[in-house]
Amino acid sequence: MTIQISLTQFLTFKAFVSTNAKYNYILKQKNNDGYHPSHDYWKNFREAIHRLPYNNGDLTVLYDAVDMVKPEKKANYTKSVNNFINFVIDNDVTFFEVGKAKWNFENELVINASPDIGMIIDGKKYFVKVFPNVQQKKSRLDSRSVKSILTLLQETNANFNTSSGTFAVLRVNSPRFFKAEAIKERDSKLLKIDAANFVNCWEAV
């Protein structure tokens, strides 16, 4: 049976160094009953971003997201919303709808990797994966993670025309906009090695 996971799950697995940590993480994922909104910390943030192409880019939906979350989340949400809005204003961003995308590794592993939103910056179209502020060290984006993400995004099977724009990653904490470049053979091989490691670990647990 093909394993289906989110991009966040794959990145979290990759970030663990020890085999024991990887084993424990896979064990936890396999024992999980599946997605539940209460476990999705950034659900309201992402849903607000998804509305932007349909509401003429009205950024007040992001402040609404802050109002909706529990008190213990408000500080992190406020920081991320402010950083995102500052990026949009500073770069005069307009938004457009994007479709779905998945990355398939030898029909053994499928990673859901749809862009969160389409952005037009300086007349150029970008299919953007947004990573909001995170607390856990293992989930933070470093340069290696971003390179792996951009390689994966470019190799996805998408239901929209990917040749019309460029894949990109917006890191909301310590804000930075990463644009995809031509895929390097080495990066593609490293990605497949990581995927094979995930499958092997999953099957061994």
Q: Which residues are paired to 110 by β-bridges?
A: 4, 104
pLDDT of residue 34: 55
**pLDDT at residue 151 tops 80:** yes
pLDDT of residue 15: 86
Per DSSP, the residues of 93-153 read: -EEE----EEEEETTTEEEE---SEEEEETTEEEEEEEE-----GGG---HHHHHHHHHHH
Q: Are 103 and 157 in contact (CB under 8 A)?
A: yes
Q: Quote the mean pLDDT of the chain.
A: 91
pLDDT of residue 55: 96
Residue-wise pLDDT for 61-120, tens only, equals 999 999 999 999 999 999 999 999 999 999 999 999 999 999 999 999 999 999 999 999
Q: What is the pTM of this model?
A: 0.91
DSSP 53: G
Question: How many residues are recorded in the chain?
Answer: 205
Residue-wise pLDDT for 155-200, tens only, equals 999 999 999 999 999 999 888 999 999 999 999 999 999 999 999 9
Rg of the chain on CA atoms, in Å = 17
**pLDDT at residue 49 tops 60:** yes
Residue-wise pLDDT for 121-140, tens only, equals 999 999 999 998 664 555 56
Burial class (CB in 10 A: 0-12, 13-18, 19+), 161: exposed
> What is the band of 58 on the pLDDT scale with cuts at 50, 70, 90?
very high
Q: Report the side by side order of strands in the sheet with 157-158.
A: 3-6, 109-112, 101-105, 157-158
**pLDDT at residue 33 tops 80:** no
Helix (H) or strand (E) holding 87: helix 74-90
Q: What is the mean pLDDT of residues 45-55?
A: 96
**pLDDT at residue 36 tops 60:** no
